[in-house]
Structure 1
Amino acid sequence: MRQLIFKIVSFIPVFILVSIMVFSMLHMLPGDPATTILGNEASPEAIAALNEKLGMNKPIIMQYFDWIWDIIHGNFGNSMVDNTPVLQLISQRLPATLELITGSFIVALLIALPTGIISAARPGTWIDHICTSISMIGMSIPHFWLGMMMIIFFSVKIGILPASGYVPFSQDPAGNLASMIMPMVATGFRQSAVLMRIVRSSMLDILNADYIRTAIAKGLSERSVLMGQSLRNALIPVVTTSGLLIAGLIGGLVITETIFSIPGFGKLMIDSVFRRDYTTVQGTVLVTALLVIFINIAVDALYTYIDPRIKNEKEGGQNDK
């Protein structure tokens, strides 16, 4: 628990730095939100009045501290375009993206773990070559192209899945699965290619270790060695890579969400950038930073669960100090 609290506290400076960077970079862009909202034909008086209403006429440092103070109190402000609370926009869009991330990662694991383990267990064989080829194909094909091909085949040609749209799980579980399965597979297949290579490489290193040879020499079955000892010891780099992949998907699914017309978090962020909606952009980026921080904390916690020696080493180092 003490290490978890220390980890959370250590990310506070990162969060503050991200907030400063986001706030500063947005305000360095040319133009102003008032002109974007009112249009180029608006009078200078109307633009000045809107800037005053939005607080854009204050010094930038004062604007930053006012914004942070509101964030601390749970107020992310309202959209500069339609005056909708930013937290409401995020709460409406984030669930679809989190569902897409979760489903894509499950698809990636279902492909990567079996192929990576089998490939490592039979290095240099035709099975290894097939698994490696699948990985290379997954890394070479853009996920948006795969998504469009799936739409053409499963929606246009066969007609068994909807081409686009999103149905919340709470409203229609079957409809939700039908609308999300293609984007999940299109995204997850590419992620599986990266994970499969990490699983294979890590498993090969473990299988060549002396204690694995000893276990095999004592008569343990191949399945027991692969699944009982090798896989768990090989999971550290897999967990690290998984954390990076999930963090990258949080704001990086805008293309997939656009192709399949999913009202997700990434699309909200991009739309807000184009509309110069400062408060929404700032809110979405901060939420993204919080989610990435949470993922890093979760990955660090998984390390100690997978390999208790990591926890013992940390505790030993702290005791020495």
Structure 2
Amino acid sequence: MGWFLRRIAQSIVMLWVVISLVFLSIHFVPGDPVELLLAQDGATPDPAMVEVVRGQLGLDRPLHEQYVKKLGDLLRFDLGKSIVDESSVGKEVARRLPRTLELIAAAGLLSLLIGLPAGVLAALRPASLFSRMANLASGTAQSIPVFVIGTLFVITFAQLLGWLPAGGFVAFERDPAKHLLLLIMPATTIAVGLSAIVFRITRASMLDVLPLDFIRTARAKGVPRRRVILQHALRNALMPVITVFALQLGGLLAGTVLVETVFNWPGLSGMLVSGVNARDYPVVTGVIVVVAAFYIGLNLLVDILYGLTDPRVRK
């Protein structure tokens, strides 16, 4: 129990550090958000109006007062209001976050369906043609930028073959079939690189487990080969895969910017980019806090799983 509480406390401290760094870095970025807000057609805004708006938004207060207020708001789960249009950041995040999570979940599921079986088969026959071709394919998939893969998918499957729409978004409740069609290409684009990572980790982990004594003992006892592979080898090889996979999913929450841009998928990343361009402090802080909380939460979950499966970790 003490180990569990220590991990939660460490996660809270990490989240506080992220919030503090984001707050300070945003305020030290060149450019006045109020001037950007009031500037129209390149015209210089009236300095008096700039001061009035800055006072209305609370940006004229000392930095430490703004910091304390931001921490208090976040403790109440209040992400603030956008400087640009005064919309609720929390409501906009709640509207966009499920779209990005859906994209990541679909890509993660697809990558597991591809990477896990391929990694197991490649480990069982490491010198086979399949293993060599799979290694080559995974290295190629990891080396190609995601926006290149997305662009190739659009050209091939949308423009040349006409099988799938090029991009966009339709709510699932409005048109489930079209929603799923629009989800296929962005999710597959992300899954290409992620499945390559899952494949490599699974193959390496299986190669480490297969020569161990308990595997040889199970085979000597006459345990069926399928059971040896699935229940003994793969089960013990999954922990590194789970760790890397969870960390990759956490990184994808903020790393889907290019994919959402290529396919015009209105998720959380587009909100972050527009907030950075407009120097919209509450929007940028709110999005990054949500992303950081998600990422730290995944790390905490992986640590807890490790601790439950391996008592040595708790010690």
TM over 0.5: yes
**Is contact 2:81–2:88 with CA below 8 Å preserved after alignment?**
yes
**Is contact 1:155–1:163 with CA below 8 Å preserved after alignment?**
yes
Shift of the 3–57 alpha-carbon distance from structure 1 to 2, 3 Å rule, reads: same
Residue 87 (structure 1) shift: 0.4
Which region of structure 1 is more displaced relative to structure 2, 295-304 or 40-49? 295-304
Correspondence 1:158-177 to 2 at 5 A: 158-177=161-180
The amino acid across from 2:77 in the alignment is G
Looking at structure 1, the residues matched to 125 and 220 of structure 2 have their Cα atoms a distance apart, in angstroms, of: 18
Residue 17 (structure 1) shift: 0.8
Correspondence 1:234-253 to 2 at 5 A: 234-253=237-256
Alignment-derived partner of residue 265 in structure 1: 268
Which region of structure 1 is more displaced relative to structure 2, 142-151 or 90-99? 142-151
Looking at structure 1, the residues matched to 313 and 192 of structure 2 have their Cα atoms a distance apart, in angstroms, of: 36
State which of 120, 124, 127 in structure 2 corresponds to 1:124: 127
Shift of the 156–15 alpha-carbon distance from structure 1 to 2, 3 Å rule, reads: same
Residue 48 (structure 1) shift: 0.4
**Is contact 1:112–1:193 with CA below 8 Å preserved after alignment?**
yes
Residue 3 (structure 1) shift: 4.6
Alignment-derived partner of residue 9 in structure 1: 9
Residue 158 (structure 1) shift: 2.1
Alignment-derived partner of residue 156 in structure 2: 153
Residue 125 (structure 1) shift: 1.4
SS in 2 for 1:215: helix
Residue 298 (structure 1) shift: 2.0
Looking at structure 1, the residues matched to 194 and 159 of structure 2 have their Cα atoms a distance apart, in angstroms, of: 26
Residue 169 (structure 1) shift: 2.1
The amino acid across from 1:10 in the alignment is Q
For these two proteins, the number of residue pairs brought into alignment is 312
Q: Deviations over 1:151-205 (max 9, x none)?
A: 1122112222111101222332211110010111111011111111110000000
**Is contact 1:111–1:189 with CA below 8 Å preserved after alignment?**
no
Residue 73 (structure 1) shift: 1.8
SS in 1 for 2:255: coil
Report the TM-score when normalising by structure 1.
0.93
Alignment-derived partner of residue 313 in structure 1: 312
Residue 137 (structure 1) shift: 2.0
Looking at structure 1, the residues matched to 130 and 29 of structure 2 have their Cα atoms a distance apart, in angstroms, of: 53
**Is contact 2:118–2:199 with CA below 8 Å preserved after alignment?**
yes
Alignment-derived partner of residue 214 in structure 1: 217
**Is contact 1:116–1:200 with CA below 8 Å preserved after alignment?**
yes
Correspondence 1:265-284 to 2 at 5 A: 265-284=268-287
Alignment-derived partner of residue 24 in structure 1: 24
**Is contact 2:82–2:283 with CA below 8 Å preserved after alignment?**
yes
SS in 2 for 1:123: coil
Unaligned runs of 5+ in 1: none
Alignment-derived partner of residue 223 in structure 1: 226
**Is contact 2:307–2:313 with CA below 8 Å preserved after alignment?**
no
Residue 304 (structure 1) shift: 4.5
Unaligned runs of 5+ in 2: none
Percent sequence identity is: 37
**Is contact 2:58–2:66 with CA below 8 Å preserved after alignment?**
yes
The amino acid across from 1:300 in the alignment is D
SS in 1 for 2:83: coil
The amino acid across from 1:173 in the alignment is P
